[in-house]
A and B are shown apart, each in its own frame.
Chain A
């Protein structure tokens, strides 16, 4: 095993570099700067029971902290949590936020938000708008989609934070 280690490391490095080289602006797959796979049981259970468990890398830490501080009026709904669960989810979101993780997609999200702004909706970020600017307003209203918050309608890997453009299928 020890003898193979340098080879394995070389292999891993070359894969990493080639992934980076081949991932252009229109292809941000997992190996090409896409959001890292993260998971947290409380996040998936609590956030994911009402909507897509939005990947923490889609908003900066300050947005998550503000959002988690107002769960009793969460976009017009009461989503209050007990203190322990709220803290656990807040810590997870903060640690993996757009301005905290080293992934190109996360950097782009964070960079698209002016430092004086603290958006609470992912759909309000310039990054999101740029990525969806080819879609007419009517697309979101299709019965099969319903709302821009319904990521999974077009992005089959949304629940895993995978927004690879090649996998996108916009339903009729």
Chain B
């Protein structure tokens, strides 16, 4: 028991650090964006446009909508035909509720679709849009 106690503590701390609410996650990205631009305010409409923008990416994915569909309340589908749970928190309470998971997927998918990592401002805009969907 004593031996496993530090491990349990570490696990609890890790869980606490990873868990978030969509609002807290948005605040985090907005805060990061303000370091570069103190006047930054998240914009849901900019987020929607960013999500739907057609690009010429090397991966062959030309827009977020390729896999996620145009409606974040609907499930999407990967190239290998696996279902993707909806992105909008209103349709899927697990979305934007785990900072590490959100970072992992934005880290991968921005490189594939946009061709580079997304900026904190872009992430804030996407989060603002997804949160605004009812």
Contacts and interface: CB of A to CB of B under 8 A. Distances in A.
A67 to B, nearest CB: 14
B81 A147 contact: yes
Tell me the dominant secondary structure on chain A's binding face.
loop
A118 interface: no
A93 to B, nearest CB: 17
Contacts, number: 39
Counting contact residues on chain A (CB < 8 A from B), the size range is 10 to 19
B16 interface: no
A124 to B, nearest CB: 15
Interface string B68-94: 000000000011111000000000000
Contacts of B60: 76
A145 B82 CA distance: 11
A76 B60 CA distance: 8
A79 interface: yes
Given A76-B59, A76-B60, A50 B80 contact: yes
Contact of A78 (B79, B81, B82, B111): B111
B107 A149 contact: no
A147 B112 contact: no
Interface string A13-55: 0000000000000000000000000000000000011111000
Interface in A127-162: 145-147, 149-150, 153
Interface of A: 48-52, 76-80, 145-147, 149-150, 153
B108 A149 contact: no
Query: Quick one: which of A48, A78, A149, A150 has the most chain B CB within 10 A?
Result: A78
Given A76-B59, A77-B59, A80-B107, A50 B78 contact: yes
A147 B107 contact: no
B109 interface: yes
Contact of B112 (A51, A52, A78, A149): A78
Contacts of B108: 77-80
A123 B81 CA distance: 16
29 contacts: A50-B78, A50-B79, A50-B80, A50-B82, A51-B78, A51-B80, A51-B81, A51-B82, A52-B80, A52-B82, A76-B59, A76-B60, A77-B59, A77-B61, A77-B79, A77-B112, A78-B59, A78-B108, A78-B109, A79-B108, A80-B108, A146-B81, A147-B79, A147-B81, A149-B80, A150-B80, A150-B81, A150-B82, A153-B81
